[in-house]
């Protein structure tokens, strides 16, 4: 298990400079190996060689973080995931990740009135029908599919979001229904903390289904929660590891016990302070970008916990 970060694949030099041992390849569609790139194979081999020479392992390809079940996006999503699987197979990358998507359907009650959003569990068959063929294609190429469970809703909650697998109850429904053992999770404890779910217990329960890991923390502001409730800005915040409320020693301990076989890739650009944006006009560090500081805080916390696990 290595500590790494989410990054574009053309920024491997930056990843190496930060002393990261792994990378999750983000924005795949826009990369030199993305769909429609005729010379992708040559570029893939060059990138693999660069990563190897820099001591960086490419843990996963983040193929597409959109809504594949939206009819306007489905064809693009299928093509993107299939191409990402081919690229991953060529480069020896085991995991292709992304959002599973959602069927968003409204109806009206018998008296009319405002639309009612139908619950996602009604559309599990649609989710299974979309993903099973992609899963078989992935299995044929020695790959597995990891779904990120970010709710994509307001206040970091599964409200008005477009991810059917934002909640563990839906993971159960999907895994019970789908055929293929190469479907799993791109686990992120921050999304559980924001729903008041214990990430350590969840790792113990779903360990065999955790294929990739976004290392991101979260913080619940309890005084603000008691005053305004969960649906209020600032009550739940995403943070870099070490700046939230996760017990990272227990998280890593649980991952090791459950046999997790990939890396911890830090995701921090949601942090309200240490993220990739210039500090505000009144800051004494005006004009400096703080994400590098956050990445180093997280790396220094996590590195001792995974020493010797590679």
Listing DSSP states for 52-67 in one string gives HHTT-EEEEEEEE-S-
pTM: 0.93
Q: What is the pLDDT of residues 260-300, one digit of tens each?
A: 999 999 998 889 988 865 555 554 444 456 788 999 999 99
Convert the pLDDT of each residue in 109-125 to its tens digit.
Answer: 666 667 778 889 999 99
Inter-CA distances, 165 with 88, 99, 146, 154, Å: 24, 8, 11, 16
Q: How confident is the model at residue 244 (pLDDT cuts 50, 70, 90)?
A: very high
Q: Could you give the angle at which helices 291-306 and 248-257 cross, rounded to 10 degrees?
A: 50
Domain limits at 294? 3-306
Q: Which residue has the higher pLDDT, 284 or 91?
A: 91
With CA atoms as reference, report the closest residue to 195 among 152, 224, 232, 158: 158
Q: Give the CATH number of the domain where residue 93 resides.
A: 3.20.20.150
Total count of domains within the chain:
1
Where residue 88 falls among pLDDT bands split at 50, 70, 90?
Answer: very high
Instruction: Kindly state the tokens that stand for 193.
Output: 């903390």
């Amino acid at each position: 298990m290595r500590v790494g970060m989410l990054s574009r694949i053309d920024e491997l030099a930056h990843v190496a400079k930060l002393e990261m041992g792994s990378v999750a390849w983000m924005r795949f569609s826009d990369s030199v190996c993305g769909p429609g790139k005729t010379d992708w194979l040559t570029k893939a081999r060059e990138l693999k060689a660069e990563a190897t020479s820099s001591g960086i392992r490419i843990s996963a390809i983040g193929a597409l973080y959109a809504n594949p079940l939206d009819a306007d996006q489905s064809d693009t999503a299928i093509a993107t995931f299939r191409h990402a699987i081919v690229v991953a197979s060529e480069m020896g990358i085991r995991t292709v990740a992304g959002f599973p998507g959602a069927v968003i359907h409204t109806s009206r009650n018998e008296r009319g009135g405002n639309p009612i959003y139908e619950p996602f569990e009604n559309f599990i068959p649609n989710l299974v029908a979309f993903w099973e063929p992609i899963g078989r294609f992935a299995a044929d190429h020695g790959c597995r599919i990891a779904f990120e469970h970010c709710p994509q809703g307001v206040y970091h909650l599964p409200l008005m979001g477009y991810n059917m697998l934002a909640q563990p109850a839906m993971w159960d429904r999907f895994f019970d229904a789908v055929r293929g053992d190469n479907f799993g999770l791109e686990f992120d404890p921050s999304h559980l903390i924001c729903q008041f779910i214990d990430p350590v217990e969840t790792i113990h329960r779903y360990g065999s289904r955790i294929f990739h890991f976004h290392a991101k923390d979260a913080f619940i502001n309890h005084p603000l929660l008691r005053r305004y409730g969960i649906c209020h800005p600032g009550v739940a915040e995403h943070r870099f590891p070490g700046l939230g409320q996760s017990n990272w020693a227990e998280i890593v301990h649980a991952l090791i016990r459950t046999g997790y076989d990939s890396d911890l890739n830090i995701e921090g650009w949601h942090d309200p302070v240490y993220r990739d944006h210039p500090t505000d006009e009144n800051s004494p560090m005006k004009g400096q970008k703080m994400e590098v500081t956050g990445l180093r805080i997280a790396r220094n916390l996590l590195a001792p916990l995974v020493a010797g696990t590679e």
